């Protein structure tokens, strides 16, 4: 890659939420968190037609530090995005069937960043899970976390390859373990393969909400992204140009993974 290359970023909302599976993943008072994927909502192929020989993962397969509700444990998950070493995955991939997100993702080039944010609920350290009582936070909370729920960057993929409107065969060659290749029919409008050395979860979240309210966007959204920060901004893809990406990566370095500098 050219030493003068300056990356751009697209950030998209993923992961568990109050609609599916019915709760948000936790963010803890020190800014650490747990990544909880959404359920698989589509029909899937028989296992012998998956591009790789592996089972369809369920919530029971997730490596999370809290108990999941019993009715959820056997439910298949849509393991997308996937990151090396997270929930048993080995690759960095993402696929998306929705034009509103696929469009800006498709404009990314090798070396750019695809970041992921989620709405997370503030939970005490040692939180027992969605069915647990006593979920109020009594310990000191990082100054930049929202008091109830907020939107937070939590992971990134350093783009290696992007394919727009892929055929199943082309997607299977580029991202064979991606969850959309287990669906019948294959529905991704864009797929992304990432650098496995530079992609992964952050050590700490990077807030996109203000410390006062999860629904209020902070300056990373209102001043640095292409989004106005008005209305339900936390559901929209966020574009960041080269200077804004440099600011984002500085925030990630301060809060977590120094390899993202």
- DSSP-assigned letter for residue 124: -
106 in any annotated domain: yes
Chain centroid offset of residue 158 CA: 13
pLDDT, average across residues 113-142: 91
pLDDT, average across residues 94-116: 98
CA distance 219 to 223: 5
> Would you state the pLDDT for residue 236?
98
> Would you state the pLDDT for residue 135?
72
> Does the pLDDT of residue 3 top 80, yes or no?
no
pLDDT, average across residues 210-224: 98
Residue 81 confidence class, pLDDT cut points 50, 70, 90: very high
1 in any annotated domain: no
Judge whether 104 and 237 are in contact, CB under 8 Å. Answer: yes
> Would you state the pLDDT for residue 259?
40
> Would you state the pLDDT for residue 132?
80
CA distance 19 to 98: 18
> Would you state the pLDDT for residue 261?
32
Judge whether 112 and 11 are in contact, CB under 8 Å. Answer: no
Q: What's the domain range around 250?
A: 9-260
Q: What is the CA radius of gyration of the chain?
A: 18
pTM: 0.95
Closest CA to 153 of 12, 26, 8: 12
DSSP line for 127-151: ---TT-S-----S---TTS-SSEEE
Chain segment 18-30, per-residue pLDDT in tens: 999 999 999 999 9
What is the number of structural domains in the chain?
1
Q: How far is CA 140 from CA 30, 123, 207, in A?
A: 8, 12, 17
> Would you state the pLDDT for residue 165?
98
4 in any annotated domain: no
Q: How many CB atoms lie within 10 A of CB 247?
A: 15
3 in any annotated domain: no
Chain segment 226-254, per-residue pLDDT in tens: 999 999 999 999 999 999 999 999 999 76
147 in any annotated domain: yes
Residue 136 confidence class, pLDDT cut points 50, 70, 90: confident
Chain segment 88-103, per-residue pLDDT in tens: 999 999 999 999 999 9
pLDDT, average across residues 55-75: 95
Q: How many CB atoms lie within 10 A of CB 140?
A: 8
> Does the pLDDT of residue 127 top 50, yes or no?
yes
> Would you state the pLDDT for residue 256?
53
> Does the pLDDT of residue 260 top 80, yes or no?
no
39 in any annotated domain: yes
CA distance 12 to 134: 32
């Amino acid at each position: 890659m050219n030493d003068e290359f300056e990356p751009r970023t697209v950030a998209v909302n993923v992961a568990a939420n109050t609609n599916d599976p019915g709760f948000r993943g936790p963010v803890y008072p020190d800014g650490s968190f747990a990544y909880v994927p959404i359920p698989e909502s589509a029909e899937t192929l028989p296992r012998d037609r998956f591009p790789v020989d592996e089972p369809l993962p369920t919530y029971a397969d997730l490596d999370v530090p809290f108990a999941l509700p019993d009715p959820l444990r056997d439910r298949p998950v849509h393991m997308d995005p996937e990151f090396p070493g997270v929930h048993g995955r080995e690759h960095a991939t993402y696929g998306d069937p929705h034009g509103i997100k696929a469009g800006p993702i498709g404009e990314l080039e090798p070396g750019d960043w695809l970041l992921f944010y989620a709405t997370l609920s503030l939970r005490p350290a040692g939180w027992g899970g969605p069915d647990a009582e006593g979920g109020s936070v009594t310990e000191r909370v990082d100054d930049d976390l929202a008091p109830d729920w907020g939107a937070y960057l939590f992971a990134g993929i350093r783009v290696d390859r992007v394919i727009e409107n892929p055929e199943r065969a082309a997607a299977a060659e580029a991202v064979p373990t991606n969850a959309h290749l287990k669906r019948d029919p294959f529905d991704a409008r864009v797929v992304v393969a990432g650098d496995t050395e530079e992609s992964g979860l952050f050590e700490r979240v990077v807030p996109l909400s203000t410390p006062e309210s999860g629904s209020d966007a902070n300056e990373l959204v209102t001043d640095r992204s292409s989004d106005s920060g008005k209305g339900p901004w936390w559901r929209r893809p966020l574009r960041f140009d080269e200077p804004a990406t440099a600011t984002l990566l500085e925030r990630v370095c301060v809060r977590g993974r120094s390899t993202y500098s």
